[in-house]
Amino acid sequence: MQIAKTILEQLGGNKFIAMTGARNLLAHESALSFRLPGGGGFTRSGINYVKVELNGLDLYNVEFQRIRGLKATLVAQEVDVYNEDLRVIFELHTGLRTSL
């Protein structure tokens, strides 16, 4: 639970949630996942699911997926991302700003 809280804070905390519309935040053992508002061009490439996972090198692996019904498609994946680059990677792949 603490890892998920730390990841959320590194993404921007409540401001991140307000700016992106992130919902259904779920804490995993060493990760945080969340949904983004539906398709229809809200995000680049229709991304509506993101999972940020802490790996063994104390860096993050980030998955961007498009989920439609029971079909999940991996749109992009970033491996070994430093915490200070999480926002940049998120903005690059989704097209959503994380702060004003």
Per-residue pLDDT tens, the chain, 100 aa: give them: 899 999 999 999 999 999 999 999 999 999 999 999 976 668 888 999 999 999 999 999 999 999 988 999 999 999 999 999 999 999 999 999 998 7
* 76/66 Cα distance (integer angstroms): 10
For residues 89 and 10, the answer to whether their CB atoms sit within 8 Å is no
For residues 75 and 64, the answer to whether their CB atoms sit within 8 Å is yes
3-state secondary structure of 10: helix
Tell me how far CA of residue 77 lies from CA of 49, 51, 72, 85, in angstroms.
Answer: 12, 10, 14, 14
Is residue 99 situated within a structural domain?
no
Whole-number pLDDT of residue 40 = 61
Whole-number pLDDT of residue 21 = 93
Is residue 100 situated within a structural domain?
no
**Boundaries of domain holding 58:** 2-94
Whole-number pLDDT of residue 39 = 64
Supply the pTM of this predicted model: 0.91
Is residue 24 situated within a structural domain?
yes
